[in-house]
C-alpha cells in the first residue's frame, strides 16, 4: 500500500495586533433572547378580517411616516412595540447591514437617517397585509412596504410586522411595530438592465495591463453572480480564476457531490436551472459546473483563466487596486488596475484543515483530505478493504456512502453531536421549499429569507423545524441506538441558522446516508477524536484504536474568517518571500495612524497591509449580522467579500453591485456604524 499522509502546518499570522473588527459575538446569546408574548385574551384572531389587518397596517405606517416628517422622536418611539422592537436595514438608509434593538434606539437611528436620506412620499403598503398566528401568545400582522430615498436616489422595499398591545387608558388594542425591515431594491438613475448582460465582452488577449472598474477573484458561482449583477448596472469587471474555465471549482470536487437543497434555491441571478433539474432532482456538481460555464458564456463575462496572483497593492489616495498575476498558458506576467476588488473565492480558505496529531510517519495506509478525494476507484485498485471517515457533516456522509457502495468496511468517526435535518424538512414550503413555491420569481423568496433580524429568523426556523421533528419523534431512534449522537431539534441555541452563520455548515441534510449507520451497515465511533496515528490506522481519545487502509479527513477548511486565511492566494503574500521593507513598515504605520486618527494617509498598501485592514468575515457581530459580507469594510476601501450559500451569494451580489455603482458615481454614503446611546 502507498503512504500519503497529510499534516496540518501551523498557521502563520499575517495580521497586525490591531483588534479584529467587528468583534465576534456570542451568537447563542443573541439567539437565546425570547420572543415577545401578547397577553391572553387581548385579541381574537378569528375575528380579524384581512381588510381589518390592512387598516391596522396602514394606521401604523401612516403614523411612522408622519412621525418622521415631523421629526418628533417621542411620537416615533411610541409607534414601536414597547417590550421588544427591531429595525433592520440593508443598505437603504445605513449603507450597511444593521439591526437596531429597542424602540428608542430604532426610532432615534431611523429619525437621524431618514432626515439625511430623504423619504420623498413616505412609505406605501404593497399587497394585502396578512394576519399570522404562530401561537396563542404570538399573533402579528405582516406586510410588505415600498419607499424611495432621495440622497442617493434608491427604490427600496421593506417589511412591517406589528404586534397588538393595550396601552394604559385605551379601550381596545393598538397595533405597534415589532419589526421594521428595510432594504434597497435598485437605483433610480441606474435600474438593472438585463439587455446589457448580452452586450459583447472585452477582448483581453495579449493585454499586459488591463484597466477596469472591478477586479473579481473567483469564477465560481459567487464571482459570476457579482460580475453579472455589475454588468446589469453598466459596470465592467474582469474575473481572475486559477482554474481552466468558469465553474471548475465545482467540477473538480468529488464525483458524488450533489446539493442537499432545492435546485430553485441555487438559481443564478437572471437565469435559473432547467425545469427537468428542479425538485425532486438534486443538482450534481457537474450540472452546477455546466450551468456556470454556460452562464459566463451567455452573458459574455470577462474571465482570465489559469491565473495565479503574484501581488496585490492598493493606493488609498487614488482609490486604485493593482493586481499582478501570472497566466498558465505561457507564464506571462500581467496586471489589472481597478477601482474595486471583490473576493469571491468561497466561504473557506481552500486550505484543508486536518488536526495535527503525532506519529504520521508510522501509518502505512493512505491519508487524504476530502478536498483531494474524487472517488473510490483508487482505493479498490490498491486493494483497500477498510476505510475511516473523520467527520459527520454533509461531505462525510457522501464519502461514507461512496465507500460502502465500493464494498469497503467503513467506519465514521463522529467527533461531536451532529445537527441532522431530513431532506423533506428542508423541502417544506415553509423552509427552503419556499424557493420552489416562488420559482421562477425567486427574488420574492430571497426577500423573505433575508429580511428578518437573525434573532427572529433563528426562532422562527428552529421552532418550525422542531415542530416537523415532533411529527416523527422516533425517526432517528435507530440511528441513536447505533451510537450516533444527534443534536436535539428542540435545542434553539444550536439550530440550523446557528450552524450556517457560525460554521458555514457542520450539519447534515439527510438524503439517505444515516440509514447506513442505523442499519449497522456502517460503523460509528462517536464523541471521540483522533489523537495519533498508528501503523495500521488511528488511536482515538478514548484510547481505542481504529484500523483502516484509507483515512479520509472530512474536517473542513481552516477558517471562515478572511483575516486569517486565503491571504496568500488573494493578495499574493508569500510569508516574507519577496516582501519589501515598505510592506512590513506599512502595517505598523496603519496601526499608528488609526490610533492617531490619520487612517488613509499611507501611500501604498501591500499584501500584509491589506490583510490587516479587512473586516473579519462570518460569525456574527453583536447585532446578529454576519460579519464582513456584502458590505463596506471599515478600514479597507473598495474591498468586498462574497460567499456563503447560493441564496446568500445571490442577495449579497446585488447589494455589492448597487454600492459599487453608487461609489463610481460619487454618491455612496459612508456606512452608518453608530448606535444611538439612550437611557
Span 9-35, pLDDT tens digits: 333 334 444 678 999 999 999 999 999
374 domain-assigned: yes
Query: 69 in helix, strand or coil?
Result: helix
Report whether the peptide linkage leading into residue 32 is cis, meaning its omega lies within 30 degrees of zero: no
Q: Are residues 412 and 507 in the same domain?
A: yes
Q: Are residues 466 and 500 in the same domain?
A: yes
528 domain-assigned: yes
384 domain-assigned: yes
Among residues 255, 219, 213, the alpha carbon closest in space to that of 237 is found at 213
Q: Give the pLDDT band (50/70/90) at residue 491.
A: confident
pLDDT value of position 678: 85
When mean pLDDT is compared across 49-58, 193-202, 429-438, 584-593, the lowest value belongs to 584-593
Task: Give backbone dihedrals phi and psi of 425, rounded to 5 degrees, phi first.
Answer: -70, -40
**Alpha-carbon gap, residue 352 to 370, rounded angstroms:** 8
Q: Give the pLDDT band (50/70/90) at residue 484.
A: very high
In this structure, what DSSP letter does residue 263 have?
Answer: G
pLDDT value of position 15: 42
How many percent of the chain have pLDDT more than 70? 92
**Alpha-carbon gap, residue 35 to 84, rounded angstroms:** 8
608 domain-assigned: yes
Average pLDDT over residues 458-482: 96
pLDDT value of position 5: 37
**Alpha-carbon gap, residue 355 to 579, rounded angstroms:** 30
Q: Are residues 429 and 385 in the same domain?
A: yes
pLDDT value of position 571: 83
Among the candidates 162, 187, 212, a domain finishes at: 187
Q: Does 541 score more than 80 pLDDT?
A: yes
Domain of residue 476: give its range: 360-553
Q: Does 514 score more than 60 pLDDT?
A: yes
Span 51-88, pLDDT tens digits: 999 999 999 999 999 999 999 999 999 999 999 999 99
Q: Determine the longest span between alpha carbons in the chain, in angstroms.
A: 83
Average pLDDT over residues 394-404: 99
pLDDT value of position 567: 65
What grid cell was written down for 126?
404593497
Average pLDDT over residues 36-51: 94
pLDDT value of position 494: 87
Q: Are residues 536 and 640 in the same domain?
A: no
Q: Does 358 score more than 70 pLDDT?
A: yes
Among the candidates 519, 553, 587, a domain finishes at: 553
Span 124-167, pLDDT tens digits: 999 999 999 999 999 999 999 999 999 999 999 999 999 999 98
Span 321-344, pLDDT tens digits: 999 999 986 788 999 999 999 999
pLDDT value of position 10: 34
217 domain-assigned: yes
Q: Rounded to a whole number, what is the distance in angstroms from the first to the last CA of the chain?
A: 70
**Alpha-carbon gap, residue 334 to 327, rounded angstroms:** 8
Q: Are residues 182 and 204 in the same domain?
A: no
Q: Are residues 73 and 131 in the same domain?
A: yes
**Alpha-carbon gap, residue 239 to 122, rounded angstroms:** 40
**Alpha-carbon gap, residue 240 to 601, rounded angstroms:** 29
Q: Which residue has the higher pLDDT, 348 or 529?
A: 529
Q: Which residue has the higher pLDDT, 591 or 391?
A: 391
Q: Are residues 481 and 417 in the same domain?
A: yes
Q: Which residues pair with 156 in a beta bridge?
A: 147, 184
Q: Are residues 249 and 298 in the same domain?
A: yes
Q: Are residues 180 and 245 in the same domain?
A: no
pLDDT value of position 89: 99
Span 572-614, pLDDT tens digits: 776 654 444 344 444 445 555 554 555 555 689 998 889 889 9
When mean pLDDT is compared across 115-124, 501-510, 587-596, the lowest value belongs to 587-596
This prediction has a pTM of 0.93
User: Could you tell me which residues come within 8 angstroms of residue 339 by beta carbon, excluding any fewer than 6 positions away?
Assistant: 213, 214, 319, 320, 321, 638, 663, 664
594 domain-assigned: no
309 domain-assigned: yes
Span 292-303, pLDDT tens digits: 999 999 999 999
Number of domains in the chain: 3
Q: Are residues 102 and 61 in the same domain?
A: yes
| CATH number reported for the structural domain that contains residue 237 in this entry | 3.50.50.60
Ranges of beta strands (E only) in 27-85 are: none
Q: Give the pLDDT band (50/70/90) at residue 231.
A: very high
Q: Give the pLDDT band (50/70/90) at residue 2.
A: very low
Average pLDDT over residues 171-178: 96
| CATH number reported for the structural domain that contains residue 165 in this entry | 3.10.450.50
Average pLDDT over residues 411-431: 97
What grid cell was written down for 595?
490610533
When mean pLDDT is compared across 316-330, 372-386, 392-406, 623-637, the lowest value belongs to 316-330
What is the edge-to-edge ordering of all strands in the sheet holding 523-526?
A: 366-369, 550-553, 386-390, 409-414, 523-526
- The stretches of 352-494 forming alpha helices (DSSP H) are 377-381, 394-405, 423-426, 434-438, 443-450, 454-470, 477-481
pLDDT value of position 11: 35
Query: 182 in helix, strand or coil?
Result: strand
Among the candidates 132, 161, 187, a domain finishes at: 187
Q: What is the DSSP string of 481-492?
A: HTT--B--TT-G
Average pLDDT over residues 490-512: 91
Q: What's the mean pLDDT when you consider all of the chain? A: 92
Span 94-114, pLDDT tens digits: 999 999 999 999 999 999 999
Q: Are residues 245 and 297 in the same domain?
A: yes
Q: Are residues 430 and 517 in the same domain?
A: yes
Average pLDDT over residues 43-58: 96
596 domain-assigned: no
Q: From residue 463, give the alpha-carbon distance in Å to each of 141, 260, 458, 468, 497.
A: 19, 21, 8, 9, 12
8 A C-beta contact, residue 406 and residue 569 = no
Q: Which residues pair with 164 in a beta bridge?
A: 175
Amino acid at each position: 500500500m502507498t503512504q500519503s499522509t497529510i499534516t496540518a502546518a501551523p498557521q502563520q499570522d499575517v495580521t497586525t495586533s490591531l483588534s479584529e473588527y467587528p468583534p465576534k459575538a456570542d451568537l447563542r446569546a443573541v439567539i437565546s433572547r425570547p420572543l415577545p408574548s401578547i397577553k391572553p385574551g387581548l385579541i381574537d384572531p378569528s375575528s380579524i378580517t384581512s381588510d381589518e389587518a390592512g387598516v391596522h397596517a396602514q394606521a401604523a405606517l401612516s403614523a411612522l411616516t408622519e412621525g418622521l416628517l415631523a421629526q418628533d422622536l417621542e411620537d416615533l418611539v411610541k409607534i414601536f412595540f414597547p417590550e421588544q422592537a427591531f429595525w433592520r436595514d440593508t443598505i437603504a438608509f445605513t449603507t450597511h447591514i444593521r439591526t437596531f434593538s429597542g424602540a428608542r434606539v430604532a426610532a432615534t437611528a431611523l429619525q437621524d437617517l431618514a432626515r439625511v436620506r430623504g423619504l420623498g412620499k413616505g412609505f406605501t403598503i404593497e399587497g394585502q397585509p396578512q394576519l399570522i398566528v404562530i401561537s396563542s401568545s404570538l399573533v402579528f400582522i405582516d406586510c410588505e412596504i415600498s419607499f424611495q430615498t432621495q440622497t442617493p436616489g434608491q427604490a427600496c422595499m421593506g417589511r412591517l410586522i406589528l404586534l397588538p398591545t393595550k396601552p394604559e387608558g385605551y379601550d381596545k388594542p393598538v397595533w405597534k411595530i415589532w419589526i421594521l425591515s428595510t432594504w434597497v431594491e435598485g437605483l433610480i438613475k441606474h435600474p438593472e438592465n438585463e439587455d446589457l448582460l448580452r452586450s459583447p465582452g472585452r477582448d483581453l488577449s495579449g493585454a499586459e495591463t488591463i484597466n477596469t472598474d472591478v477586479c473579481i477573484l473567483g469564477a465560481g458561482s459567487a464571482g459570476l453572480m457579482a460580475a453579472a449583477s455589475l454588468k446589469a448596472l453598466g459596470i465592467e469587471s474582469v474575473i481572475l480564476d486559477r482554474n481552466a474555465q468558469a465553474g471548475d471549482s465545482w467540477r473538480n470536487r468529488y464525483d458524488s457531490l450533489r446539493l442537499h437543497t432545492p435546485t430553485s434555491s441555487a438559481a443564478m441571478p437572471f437565469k435559473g436551472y432547467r425545469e427537468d433539474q428542479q425538485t425532486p432532482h438534486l443538482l450534481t456538481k457537474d450540472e452546477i459546473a455546466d450551468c456556470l460555464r454556460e452562464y459566463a458564456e451567455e452573458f459574455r463575462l470577462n474571465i482570465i483563466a489559469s491565473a495565479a496572483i503574484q501581488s496585490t497593492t492598493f493606493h488609498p489616495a487614488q482609490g486604485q487596486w493593482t493586481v499582478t498575476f501570472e497566466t498558465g498558458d505561457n507564464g506571462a506576467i500581467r496586471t489589472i488596475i481597478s477601482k474595486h476588488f471583490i473576493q469571491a473565492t468561497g466561504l473557506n480558505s481552500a486550505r484543508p484543515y486536518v488536526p495535527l496529531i503525532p506519529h504520521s510517519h508510522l501509518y502505512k495506509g493512505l491519508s487524504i483530505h476530502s478536498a483531494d478525494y474524487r472517488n473510490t476507484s483508487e482505493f479498490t485498485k490498491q486493494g483497500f478493504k477498510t476505510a475511516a471517515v473523520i467527520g459527520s457533516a454533509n461531505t462525510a456522509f457522501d464519502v461514507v456512502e461512496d465507500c460502502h457502495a465500493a464494498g469497503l468496511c467503513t467506519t465514521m468517526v463522529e467527533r461531536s453531536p451532529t445537527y441532522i435535518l431530513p431532506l423533506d424538512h428542508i423541502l417544506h414550503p415553509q423552509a427552503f421549499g419556499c424557493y420552489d413555491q416562488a420559482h421562477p420569481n425567486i427574488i420574492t423568496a430571497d426577500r423573505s429569507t433575508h429580511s428578518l433580524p437573525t434573532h427572529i429568523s433563528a426562532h422562527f426556523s428552529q421552532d418550525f423545524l422542531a415542530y416537523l421533528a415532533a411529527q416523527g419523534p422516533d425517526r432517528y431512534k435507530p440511528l441513536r441506538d447505533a451510537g450516533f449522537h444527534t443534536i436535539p431539534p428542540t435545542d434553539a441555541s444550536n439550530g440550523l441558522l446557528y450552524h450556517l452563520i457560525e460554521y458555514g455548515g457542520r450539519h447534515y441534510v439527510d438524503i439517505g446516508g444515516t440509514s447506513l449507520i442505523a442499519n449497522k451497515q456502517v460503523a460509528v465511533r462517536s464523541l471521540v477524536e483522533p489523537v495519533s496515528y498508528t501503523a495500521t490506522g488511528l488511536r482515538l481519545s478514548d484510547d481505542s484504536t481504529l484500523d483502516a487502509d484509507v483515512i479520509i479527513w472530512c474536517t473542513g477548511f481552516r477558517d471562515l474568517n478572511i483575516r486569517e486565511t486565503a491571504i496568500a492566494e488573494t493578495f499574493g503574500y508569500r510569508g516574507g518571500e519577496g516582501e519589501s521593507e515598505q510592506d512590513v513598515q506599512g502595517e505598523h504605520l496603519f496601526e499608528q495612524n488609526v490610533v492617531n486618527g490619520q487612517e488613509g494617509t499611507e501611500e501604498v498598501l501591500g499584501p500584509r497591509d491589506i490583510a490587516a485592514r479587512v473586516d473579519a468575515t462570518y460569525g456574527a457581530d453583536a447585532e446578529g449580522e454576519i460579519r464582513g459580507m456584502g458590505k463596506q469594510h471599515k478600514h479597507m476601501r473598495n474591498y468586498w467579500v462574497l460567499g456563503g450559500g447560493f441564496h446568500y451569494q445571490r442577495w449579497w451580489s446585488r447589494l455589492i453591485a448597487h454600492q459599487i455603482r453608487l461609489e463610481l458615481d460619487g454618491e455612496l454614503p459612508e456606512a452608518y456604524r453608530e448606535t444611538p446611546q439612550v437611557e
